[in-house]
Amino acid sequence: MKNPFIPLKLPIKIDYQSLLGQITKSHREIAKLDAMLSQLINPQLLERTLLTKEAVMSSQIEGTQATINDVFKFEAKGETKYETQKHADIQEIINYRKALEKGVLMLNQRPISENLIKELHSILLHSVRGHNKAPGEFRRNMVYIAKPGTPIDQATFIPPLPTLIPELFSNLERYINSEDEQDMLVQIAIVHYQFEAIHPFMDENGRIGRLIISLFLFEKKLLSYPYLYLSEYFENNRDIYYELLRNVSVKNDWNSWILFFLKGLEEQAKKAQILAQKINNLYNSIDENILELKSIYTSTFFHALFKQPVFTSKSIRKIIKVKNNQTLFDLIHKFEKAGLITEITKNQKRNKMYMFKKLINIIQA
């Protein structure tokens, strides 16, 4: 590809007949996930762990190496210095989670829009690699996709010129908020391709594009909670993902891309159902016996473990608001003695770190 690519304006004509079977399957599994989430005693207990898992998977597509365990340990320590590459990777993951959380809150006041997406992009690039690449602003320079060191004439993809971005993005924004497309799942598949093709930012277009998927499903009320993520599916099928995106640009092959995307929604909805059920079963199995630990903070502490499954006394205190040190230490001791948490900093007298291993094992499985 030697010339900048200019994507077609939306909407486009789609052959729905070949997609109907998969559309039905995807909607069915998403509806089942939504029904399951609505029946949980406390769906919010899933939020922090599922958001962190999505942030890790989305970041791994971009080459970060940190795991979900690394993120939880980093946050438990309360570190703010990024002395290693892994620390920098972790901060990128945390930023992605913050952007998702912020996006959900903003959707209560306004729809998905250019300004909303720019604000999320700014959060994503705060104090990490790319912080000097115009966070929250559309790019003003020409860019191209290629292996490092490859000249532009050997680029695999050259996005539109910067001067075309405002017009193309305005068209995309109108389409996102349009109700004219026959099916919303097909609509978000088209949105994802179009966003990546426009490539509006200097950096982090991939993560922002994946983040928009989750926000779209939530905003359109396909899910009551934004707990369905495609990053794992894209990462597991990375080569196919990029090939099909490219084939839309080169061959105008929309249907293969949309079918792949719809299958991803079905697959990830099924996985989310299983994961949510396992976490809920874990919660219920422990909650039945938790009062035996006899503390007015028992329930609060137990709920905090789902938000911060790796913690120190200092980090967990911020959630449960226990003022007395001895009360907090007694609580930690009771949970450790009951086999609910495990110390993971053996032979360390201060700043001991603990893990809610049963939850971590479910998330990492």
* Interval 112-160: pLDDT, tens: 999 999 999 999 998 776 566 789 999 999 998 888 888 888 888 999 9
Instruction: Pick the range with the lowest mean pLDDT from 117-126, 185-194, 267-276, 284-293.
Output: 284-293
Q: What pTM was estimated for this model as a whole?
A: 0.93
Q: What residues contact residue 262 under an 8 Å CB cut-off, 6+ apart? A: 19, 22, 23, 25, 26, 185, 186, 189
* pLDDT of 294 higher than 80: no
Q: Please spell the DSSP secondary structure of 230-284, one letter per residue.
A: -HHHHHHTHHHHHHHHHHHHHH--HHHHHHHHHHHHHHHHHHHHHHHHHHHHHHH
Give mean pLDDT, residues 289-304: 85
Are 298 and 331 part of one and the same domain? yes
302 and 273 share one domain: no
Within this chain, do residues 36 and 108 fall inside the same structural domain, yes or no?
yes
pLDDT of residue 46: 85
Percentage of the chain modeled with pLDDT above 90: 67
Give the model's pLDDT for residue 330: 92
Task: State which residues form the domain around 338.
Answer: 289-364
If asked whether residues 135 and 176 sit together in one domain, one would say: yes
**Per-residue model confidence (pLDDT) at position 347:** 75
Number of domains in the chain: 2
The domain that holds 326 is classified in CATH as 1.10.10.10
Tell me, yes or no, whether 4 lies in a domain: no
Claim to verify: residue 243 and residue 107 sit in the same structural domain: yes
- Residue 157 DSSP SS3: strand
